[in-house]
Structure 1
Amino acid sequence: MLAILAITTPIFLLIGIGYMARWSGVIQREQLQGVGIFVLYCALPALVIRALTQQPLGEIFQPRYLMAYGLGSIAVLGAGLILCLKLQRQPLNASAMQALGMAASNSGFVGYPVAAMVIGSPAAVLLALNMLVENLLVIPAALILAEMGNQQGSNVWHTLRQTAQNLAKNPILIGLTIGIVIASTGIVIPPPIDKAIHMLAEAAGPAALFVIGGSLFGLRAQGMMRDVGQIVVGKLLIHPLAILVAFLLMPDIEPLYMAGALLFAASPMISIYPLFGQRYHLGDVTATAMLVATVASFFTLSLLIWLMTLGGLLAF
């Protein structure tokens, strides 16, 4: 167990440093946003490009992995919708936002740093694969449903078009496209550019964790117990369980890839989740859920790593 805590504790110490930097006034909100922009638009795309160009594309592209992770995530999204929309009679936009919090992981800012320390270099490949599932499937589906709820089902084609335009500007997807083009055409990256990409990629994990910690400053976990509780349980427990079932049903999946998928799935929700929530009048619920899930994930991720070690998926 001490070996597991040696992995997870530095990650959450970096989150704590980000929080303390905001609390002490060393860094202001606007400056923290600048670090976040650097991570989102520079470091993470570089990480994805490096992951896609370090080995043959055929070895990176894993259809069975994409199918298993996609099916597990969509199953959780659907279950969250049924719970909120049908059983609790919440509006469609609120139901879609709560379901999104259960099904979309913070793969870049939390999942990757954790997975990189546990499984090593394959974590970057899994990051690219998970980003495909999240950015092309889970997030668009939830946003389209939420927008349909806002518009009471009208102008669906406009919603689809607007979502597609937003996806085309997504820096992670741009990095994915560049990486796939380079890997599939055999283009040789000049050494100075390759070195710059490598340096940016190395900065992604620590900077992302710092941003997460700073973003948690000022959030208050009060009230809204039912909604926050079910989002957090859905994200930290139900999502990894659904991914586990999906991977067990999928043949010929490498155990290391299954372990990595579980670590990504057990991470808190995407960092921009509260921004989505604000658009649909759920800013307080989504921000509080992210705070609670991030704090709780220290314990749940440590427990998951311990269980995977007992089960033989990981070795320390």
Structure 2
Amino acid sequence: MSGLIDVILPVFLVLGFGYLVVWKGLFSESAVDGLMRFAQNFAVPVLLARSIAKLDLGASYDFGLMVSFYAGALISFVIGAGAARLWLRRTGPDAVAIGFACLFSNSLLLGIPITERAYGHDALAGNFAIISIHSPFLYTIGIVAMEAVRSHGTGAGLSRVGLNALMGVLRTPLVIGILTGFTIQAGQALTGMVLPAPVWSAMDMIAGAALPAALFGLGGVLVRYRPEGDGRAIAMVTTLSLILHPGIAYLLGHFVFDLGTPALRSAVLTAAMAPGVNAYLFSNMYGAARRVAASSVLVATAGSILTISFWLALLP
């Protein structure tokens, strides 16, 4: 048990420290916005570009790994959106936003540091393989679903919906960082030339600041969210995110695809993360179910301290 605490607690202490200093007024909300803008728009994309540029694509992209993770994500999205529409009687846009909160786990800001602390830096290849298509794929799912719901009855065609989705995804800083990483790797493979050492060193410096800054800033952002109202919706998002998604990843990875230990760890732990701030950003972008998304991020992040301990204890 002490080993699990040693893995999880430092990550949540950094997050909690950010929460505390903002809650006490020692760090302003405008400073939090600036810090998160640096982390999400610059430092984290550089981290992704550097990591994917150095990723062994042939060894990391395992079919069973991807299916185990993304099948759970998509099933959670369908159940979450369907239940929000049919059970909770939410509007179409609200249902999609709630489903997106079930879909988009915090694979980067929580998944990477917890996996690294538990199993070491060499265990992250599967995580980065998942993350390399995480934002592009899941944002596409969310945007297409939202645009389809919003355009229902307006006569807008599928081509317009698809174009809106594509432009929305390509403008995302995380996606730009991912594409940059693939571009660097492809350029080095085609030309045989590598980036100069000072460039890699500069990327290492910025990437080193990404996760601590983002975790601290995430704590500060969570101060704004109050778990109020919409209790059934929040409980559903939390359950699907923390239990169903990693449960499906574990069952498929262990019993169907017989994944090796590193791949199974990456699939399950990445799936076990709470919804990320992107869940709120998505709902805020469309003005749909913002209170549910915000409260779900806060409640699920707190609850994940217990559920992540369970999944760490279960994994080999």
Query: Normalising by the residue count of structure 2, what TM-score does the alignment of the two structures yield?
Result: 0.90
Equivalent residue, structure 2, for 1:284: 291
After superposition, what is the alpha-carbon deviation per residue over 1:183-235, rounded to whole angstroms, capped at 9, x for unaligned?
23333121111111112222222112111100111321122111111011111
Moved more, 48-57 or 230-239: 48-57
Specify the alignment match of 2:227 in structure 1.
221
1:89 shift after superposition? 4.0
Cα deviation, 1:68-117, whole Å, max 9, x if unaligned, reads 32222112212223322344443322221111111211112211111121
Instruction: Measure how far apart 1:291 and its partner are.
Output: 0.8
1:82 match: secondary structure: helix
Distance between the aligned counterparts of 1:132 and 1:10, measured in 2?
A: 26
Kindly report which structure 2 residues correspond to 1:83-122, keeping only aligned pairs within 5 A, or say none.
83-122=83-122
Q: 1:136 to 1:95 in 2, by over 3 A?
A: same
Kindly indicate whether the alpha-carbon contact (under 8 Å) linking 1:131 and 1:172 is maintained by their aligned counterparts in 2. Answer: no
Any conservation in 1 of the 2:126–2:262 contact (CA below 8 Å)?
Answer: no
Q: Give 2:277's match in structure 1, choosing from 257, 271, 285.
A: 271
Mapping of 1:1-316 within 5 angstroms?
A: 1-122=1-122, 124-154=124-154, 155=156, 156-184=158-186, 185-186=188-189, 187-248=193-254, 250-251=256-257, 253-278=259-284, 279-308=286-315, 313=316
After superposition, the C-alpha distances for 1:264-287 in whole angstroms (9 at most, x for unaligned) are 111111212223223233111111
What CA RMSD, in Å, does the superposition of the two structures yield over aligned residues?
A: 2.0
Which SS does the other structure have where 1:109 is aligned?
coil
Give distance in 1, aligned partners of 2:153 and 2:219. Answer: 38
- Cα distance, 1:63 vs. partner? 3.5
> How many residues end up aligned between the 2 structures?
309
**In structure 2, C-alpha distance between the alignment counterparts of 1:266 and 1:55, rounded to whole Å:** 23
What percentage of residue pairs aligned between the two structures are identical? Answer: 24
How far apart, in 1, do the equivalents of 2:276 and 2:9 lie?
A: 21
Larger mean Cα displacement after TM superposition, 29-38 or 248-257 = 248-257
Q: What letter corresponds to residue 293 of structure 2 in structure 1?
A: T
The Cα of 1:249 is off from its aligned counterpart by 5.1
The SS at the match of 1:107 is coil
Pairwise CA distance, 1:150? 2.6
3-state DSSP of counterpart to 1:31? helix
